[in-house]
Amino acid sequence: KPFVLSSPVVWYTRKLETHPLTTKCLTSGFISGSGDMFCQFMVHRNKKKEESSGNDSSGSNNEVSSLFRPDWLRACRFTILGTVLVAPTVHYWYGMLMTRFPGSSFVSIFKRLILDQAFFAPLFLPTFMLNLYALEGRSAIEMQHKLQTEYPTALLANWSIWIPAQIINFAFVPQKFMVLFSNMIGFGWNAYLSWQTHDRHGEKSSG
């Protein structure tokens, strides 16, 4: 029924108005952790498919799902960063952009986009990655090596995803929903970051 379907949206919108930062933090944390869990499952499923193909056997998705053992600590790291780093930073960053360059004109949208992707993204991405490495208990030398190895590829991937996403965000999404929209895109983005920092080279999680 329309009322039943709309009531969660109304409730969430009200929470954004009454407790904007807390709501965005909790949402971001949940989606960040979910993105990592999705990445873990997809990597596990693909490995099982490769094994089944190599053994000339036919595995089923149900079998894969039953054998999947998530790394909860790894997912918790993404949840923590989504809650205490991503959401607060993006909340205030978007607020500053909308205050400094208000309106929906092409010039305002373009200025917000340029600042976001030419200034903010290249600085925030390594900040996120270094905090993730720190939560994994890596040494300073390990963190430096991983950042030098993974950052260039991650930044190019960031631009390929977030430039078109932010055009939509800045042009059409109301300010109070901007972080939520970013979280929705961020589900896939966090899955990519999880793969980039853990599974791309067949690496095991630390800790």
For the chain of 207 residues, list the mean pLDDT of each consecutive stretch of 10: 66 94 96 92 83 59 64 96 97 97 96 98 97 96 95 95 97 94 91 79 51
Cα dihedral angle (101, 117, 120, 106), rounded to 10 degrees?
0
Using alpha carbons only, give the angle 87, 207, 37 rounded to the nearest 5 degrees: 50
Domain residue spans of the chain: 2-199
pLDDT in tens, 128-138: 999 999 999 99
Report pLDDT for 44.
85
**How far apart (Å, rounded) are the C-alpha atoms in residues 107 and 144?**
38
- The pLDDT, as a whole number, for residue 47 is 81
Model confidence pLDDT, tens digit, residues 180-203: 999 999 999 988 888 888 766 555
Q: How long, in residues, is the chain?
A: 207
| pLDDT at residue 158 in the model | 95
Work out the burial of residue 173: count CB atoms within 10 Å of its CB; fewer than 13 is exposed, 13-18 middle, 19 or more buried.
Answer: middle
Q: What residue type is 169 in one-letter code?
A: N
Type of residue at 117: Q
In this structure, which amino acid lies at residue 56? Answer: D
- Residue 9's pLDDT is 86
> What is the reported pLDDT for 200?
60
Query: Can you tell me the distance from the alpha carbon of 61 to that of 151, in angstroms, rounded to the nearest whole number?
Result: 33
Phi-psi region of 103 (alpha: psi -120 to 50; beta: other; left: phi over 0): left
Q: How far is CA 1 from the centre of its chain?
A: 32
Q: What was the pLDDT predicted at 157?
A: 94
- Block residue for tokens 């193909």: 53
Question: Do 136 and 207 meet the contact criterion of CB atoms below 8 Å apart?
Answer: yes
Contacts of 199 (CB under 8 A, 6+ apart): 39, 40, 43
Helix ranges restricted to H, the chain: 2-18, 20-54, 61-67, 72-81, 87-100, 106-114, 121-135, 140-172, 175-194
